[in-house]
């Protein structure tokens, strides 16, 4: 079958690879009908995340049709049209039964890597380096899905592939940021990043009752989507001072909840961006936390900051003093999608959450390398390149 493989830093190729097989009783094989590029893939593509191996199949945000199931599968069946959560959940360990599914104890075959880097391993994830298990990703014609009963969700009738595919990752990730960030009615929320996850976090905040939501980015086409599709305010960080602007728009308080949806390759007009750029080039830090710093410094006293963007290592000049002295609550996570996806699919079907507009470039998998190049360079207003294998 065809698959989009990482072959080195900023190198992708389409290769012919073996088809996946059932390995465990809980497994299923899914024929991929749509698979999306994600901003976190760019961290893998660019070599920022350790543990990538030439030949790895990328892709973690996807949907498709079940074509085979293992002997232990009871809830899902062949022929089901499903969206699959990007992180895997066994459904049995303490983390899974407490809604912290991306921390699943039983789905990562490479626990020592996560323990070495983070002190504990994450759960398994599709196409996301050896650290999350080294699983083959979804940018292929078929993908093996462990624990299909807990990880795959039926797509409601009337929901298109372009709408449903983002329920695999972007929508639940954004919802989690607003939910676990503690957004409540009357709040003012600021979201850093107007990509797919940032837009979904903004929409989630609105649905959870926020009275004002402000999304910060510099790309005009994304900011236009925020205004016209999501219905939130925007702030172009390239045309002004973000912290002062936020203070002005929040009655001098700062946002109650600050959601960072940018990650380790943040851009900024601030001088610390140059500092981080140099330090990462010299390998003196691994990630550029510019947006995290700004979120912490901008949040109101006693507010909360949720880090949705992906980080892989260590950062410098972290404003811990602001966290402590302003009494902030700082939270983060990879997405615990299993607790949200059924509800989110219903909201998508009901028209409460718009997602199809994110798929600005739909193309065959054969054009995967070109799609990622567009996505990376933001060419032609690309918000997400999505592929039909």
Kindly state whether residue 383 participates in binding another protein, applying the rule CB under 8 A. no
The nearest distance, CB 4 to another protein, in angstroms, is 9
Kindly state whether residue 330 participates in binding another protein, applying the rule CB under 8 A. no
> Among residues 117 and 207, whose Cβ is nearest to another protein?
117
Kindly state whether residue 140 participates in binding another protein, applying the rule CB under 8 A. yes
Tell me which of 39, 59, 124, 177 binds another protein, using CB under 8 A: 124
Kindly state whether residue 18 participates in binding another protein, applying the rule CB under 8 A. yes
Kindly state whether residue 26 participates in binding another protein, applying the rule CB under 8 A. yes
Number of H helices, E strands in the chain: 14, 16
Give strand pairing partners of 113: none
Tell me which of 28, 29, 34, 51 binds another protein, using CB under 8 A: 51
Query: Quick one: which of 14, 64, 10 has its CA closest to 36?
Result: 64
Q: Which residues contact residue 282 at a Cβ distance below 8 angstroms, ignoring those fewer than 6 apart?
A: none
The nearest distance, CB 26 to another protein, in angstroms, is 6
Distance CA 155, CA 50 (A): 34
Backbone angles phi, psi at 139, to 5 degrees: -80, 65
Count of residues near another protein by CB under 8 A: 55
The nearest distance, CB 72 to another protein, in angstroms, is 7
Stretch that binds another protein, among 106-114, 162-170, 176-184, 231-239 (CB under 8 A): 106-114
The beta-strand segments (E) located in 9-60 are 11-16, 28-36, 56-57
Kindly state whether residue 54 participates in binding another protein, applying the rule CB under 8 A. yes
Determine how many CB atoms are found less than 10 A away from the CB of residue 238.
12
- Output the six-digit token pair for 155: 């797509």
Stretch that binds another protein, among 85-93, 180-188, 216-224, 253-261 (CB under 8 A): 85-93
> Among residues 56 and 256, whose Cβ is nearest to another protein?
56
Q: Which residues contact residue 81 at a Cβ distance below 8 angstroms, ignoring those fewer than 6 apart?
A: 33, 63, 64, 65, 154, 155
Tell me which of 31, 68, 99, 111 binds another protein, using CB under 8 A: 111
In which region does residue 387 sit, left (phi positive, over 0), alpha (psi from -120 to 50) or beta (all else)? beta
The nearest distance, CB 276 to another protein, in angstroms, is 25
Give strand pairing partners of 212: 188
Q: How many residues does the chain have?
A: 389
Tell me which of 107, 234, 298, 334 binds another protein, using CB under 8 A: 107
Kindly state whether residue 10 participates in binding another protein, applying the rule CB under 8 A. no
The nearest distance, CB 1 to another protein, in angstroms, is 7
Stretch that binds another protein, among 15-23, 180-188, 202-210, 323-331 (CB under 8 A): 15-23
Kindly state whether residue 13 participates in binding another protein, applying the rule CB under 8 A. yes
Distance CA 345, CA 51 (A): 33
Kindly state whether residue 332 participates in binding another protein, applying the rule CB under 8 A. no
Q: Which residues contact residue 112 at a Cβ distance below 8 angstroms, ignoring those fewer than 6 apart?
A: 121
Measure CA 372 to chain center. 16
Kindly state whether residue 115 participates in binding another protein, applying the rule CB under 8 A. yes
Structural contact between residues 6 and 45, judged by C-beta atoms closer than 8 angstroms: yes
The nearest distance, CB 349 to another protein, in angstroms, is 31
Considering all CA atoms of the chain, what is the largest pairwise distance in Å, rounded to the nearest integer?
60
Stretch that binds another protein, among 60-68, 134-142, 193-201, 353-361 (CB under 8 A): 134-142
> Among residues 60 and 144, whose Cβ is nearest to another protein?
144
Kindly state whether residue 39 participates in binding another protein, applying the rule CB under 8 A. no
Helix or strand or coil: residue 379? helix
Kindly state whether residue 272 participates in binding another protein, applying the rule CB under 8 A. no
Distance CA 356, CA 73 (A): 31
Measure CA 216 to chain center. 17
* Binding region for another protein (CB under 8 A): 1, 3, 5, 7, 13, 15, 17-21, 23-26, 51-57, 71-72, 90-94, 97, 105-116, 119-121, 124, 130, 133-136, 140, 144, 146-147
């Amino acid at each position: 079958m065809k698959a989009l493989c990482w072959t080195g830093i900023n190198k992708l190729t389409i290769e012919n690879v073996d088809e996946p097989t059932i390995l465990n009783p809980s497994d299923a094989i899914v024929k991929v009908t749509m698979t999306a590029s994600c901003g976190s893939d760019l961290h893998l593509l660019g070599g920022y995340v350790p543990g990538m191996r030439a030949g790895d199949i990328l892709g973690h945000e996807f949907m498709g049709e079940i074509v085979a199931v293992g002997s232990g599968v009871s809830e899902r069946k062949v022929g089901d049209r499903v969206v699959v959560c990007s992180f895997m959940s066994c459904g049995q360990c303490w983390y899974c039964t407490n809604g912290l599914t991306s921390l699943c104890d039983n789905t990562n075959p490479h626990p020592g890597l996560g323990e070495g880097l983070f002190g504990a391993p994450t759960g398994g994830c599709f196409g996301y380096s050896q650290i999350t298990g080294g699983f083959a990703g979804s940018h292929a014609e078929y993908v093996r899905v462990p624990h299909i009963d807990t990880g795959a969700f039926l797509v409601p009738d009337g929901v298109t592939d372009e709408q449903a595919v983002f329920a695999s990752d972007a929508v639940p990730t954004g919802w989690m940021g607003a939910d676990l960030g503690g957004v409540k009615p009357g709040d003012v929320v600021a979201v850093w990043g107007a990509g797919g996850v940032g837009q979904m976090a903004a929409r989630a905040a609105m649905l959870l009752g926020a009275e004002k939501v402000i999304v910060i980015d510099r790309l005009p086409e994304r900011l236009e989507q925020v205004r016209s599709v999501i219905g939130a305010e925007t702030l172009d960080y390239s045309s002004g001072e973000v912290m002062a602007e936020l203070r002005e728009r929040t009655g001098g308080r700062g946002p109650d909840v600050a959601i960072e949806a940018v990650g380790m390759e943040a851009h900024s007009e601030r001088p610390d961006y140059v500092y981080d750029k140099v330090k990462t080039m010299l390998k003196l830090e691994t990630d550029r936390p510019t947006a995290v710093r700004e979120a912490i410094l901008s949040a109101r006293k006693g507010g909360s900051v949720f880090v949705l963007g992906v980080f892989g290592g260590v950062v410098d000049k972290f404003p811990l003093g602001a966290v402590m002295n302003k009494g902030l609550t700082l939270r983060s996570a990879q997405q615990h999608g299993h607790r949200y996806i059924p509800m989110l699919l219903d909201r998508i079907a009901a028209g409460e959450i718009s997602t199809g507009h994110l798929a600005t470039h739909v193309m065959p998998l054969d054009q995967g390398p070109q799609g990622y190049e567009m996505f990376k360079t933001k060419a032609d207003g690309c918000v997400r390149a999505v592929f039909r294998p």
